């Protein structure tokens, strides 16, 4: 007896994640990444899929590129999309990446001078069940540095949603709310293990 289609899909996606995981770059490769003040960083991007309330199939794929450090909007792309892949926990990338990648490709085709030097992704990156979340997936396929900024805590890698975590999260949010430049430094510092 063969496995049900959902189990087949999970196995296929696990295999694809493992293959792509080998291509993740975890070291700083750009000069601005090694500079304490991010000297040379001029453009930051953000991507997200926003769903219509009560509808888990129709969404708006969005890309925004901002100047850095001024945070002026340089480019916006919003497109209504219909998702065909099912939602399976731990495999969000297979559902959302195609549309986010298309937005980046439209930008590269139409205004390559505005391509972001780093992309903040609404989803996890290395902090993921298989250390390959949506941000990693998009980064590998786009060739751009991507940072996962998830709204919800995954309880993986020894992290649990408890009072200790809540206290640490409150401290980090205070850091992030202070100034845009400091927020960026906090995020990058956390990723770099500072």
Residues in the chain: 194
According to the model, what pLDDT value does residue 157 have? Answer: 52
Q: What is the overall mean pLDDT for the chain?
A: 78
Which of the four pLDDT bands, split at 50, 70 and 90, describes residue 101? very high
pTM above 0.95, yes or no: no
Question: What CATH architecture is 43-153?
Answer: 2-Layer Sandwich (3.30)
Q: Hey, where are the domains in the chain?
A: 43-153, 162-194
Which of the four pLDDT bands, split at 50, 70 and 90, describes residue 119? very high
Contacts 24+ apart (CB under 8 A), 46-51: 46/119, 46/120, 46/121, 46/122, 47/100, 47/103, 47/104, 47/119, 47/120, 47/121, 47/122, 47/138, 48/121, 48/122, 49/81, 49/83, 49/96, 49/99, 49/100, 49/122
Strand 118-121 to 146-148 pairing: parallel
What is the per-residue pLDDT across 134-184, written as a single tens digit (0 to 9) for each? 888 888 889 888 888 866 555 445 555 667 666 666 666 565 555 454 444
């Amino acid at each position: 007896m063969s496995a049900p289609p959902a189990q087949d899909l999970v196995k296929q996606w696990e295999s694809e994640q493992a293959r792509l995981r080998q291509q993740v770059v975890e070291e700083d490769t750009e000069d601005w990444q090694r500079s304490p003040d991010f000297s040379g960083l001029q453009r930051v991007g953000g991507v997200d899929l926003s769903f219509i309330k009560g509808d888990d199939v129709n969404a708006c794929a969005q890309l925004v590129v901002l100047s850095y450090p001024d945070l002026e909007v340089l480019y916006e792309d919003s497109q209504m999309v219909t998702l065909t892949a099912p939602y399976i926990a731990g495999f969000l990338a297979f559902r959302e990446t195609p549309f986010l990648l298309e937005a980046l490709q439209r930008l590269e085709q139409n205004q390559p001078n505005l391509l972001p030097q780093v992309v903040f992704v609404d989803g996890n990156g290395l902090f993921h069940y298989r250390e390959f979340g949506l941000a990693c997936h998009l980064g590998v396929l786009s060739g751009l540095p991507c940072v996962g900024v998830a709204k919800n805590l995954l309880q993986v890698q020894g992290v649990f949603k408890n009072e200790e975590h809540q206290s640490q999260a409150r401290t980090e949010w205070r850091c992030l709310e202070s100034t845009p430049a400091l927020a960026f430094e906090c995020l990058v510092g956390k990723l770099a293990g500072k």
